[in-house]
Amino acid sequence: MDAETYIENAVRTLGGERDQVSQRFCDNFDTQIYHMSLVITEIVELFQFVENARGGNFDSANFLEECGDILWYLAIADASMCLDGITMRYNQTDVKKIEDVDEFLDSVMRRTISMTAAAGKIIDIFGKKFLFYGRQYDVDKIISLMQSINQSVADVLIEAGYTIDDARESNINKLKKRYAEKFTESEANHRNHDAEVKAVECFLKN
């Protein structure tokens, strides 16, 4: 699933087509504070994954799910800034699967810290320098920070033996189980967790 297709699918879970979401947010860049704060909450879940894994509960489905959630919020942020998927593209690197569990968890922790720092910088740009100090924000800098988060997710997925497409597709598959058509508060609060887990587990690899 390429970046553009993923964004289209992600935006639909908000209850509207991409052009409607873009129209709503394009002139309100301060909403990125909201998006990035939610990215951080999902990144924190990766910290929890590492803690649980080191305690003996290595939950591969949870790892894949949290990576997908981070990508979802990035996709919504990209759409809201009318960036046409530029922040969702990633570079092929020499990163390879890490077989040693402890080494892999160390890498997840390092990348998670890096992602948190990048999201925090975006919040700083909008929340303090733009909204409070009235400084013009550097769009290229924001794009670069969003790209770095996306790249970190892509790399850590490779280290786990997955691809970014696996995370994107499992994320959309999970959301299709959660929402019949589009987001509703009722369906968000009354989820079929077993069905959602199974929707992610079908993408797991040995």
**Would you kindly state where each structural domain of the chain is located, as residue ranges?**
3-201
Q: How far apart are CA 165 and CA 52, in angstroms?
A: 25
Six-digit token string for 31 = 């909403």
- Put simply, whether the predicted model's pTM sits higher than 0.85 gets the answer no
pLDDT in tens, the chain (206 residues): 777 787 777 777 765 444 444 444 444 555 666 667 778 888 889 999 999 999 999 999 999 999 999 998 888 888 877 788 888 888 878 889 999 999 999 999 999 999 999 988 888 887 666 666 667 777 888 889 999 999 999 999 999 999 999 999 999 888 888 776 665 556 655 667 777 778 788 888 76
* Total residues found in the chain within this entry: 206
Task: Give CA torsion, residues 194, 159, 41, 44, to 10 deg.
Answer: 100
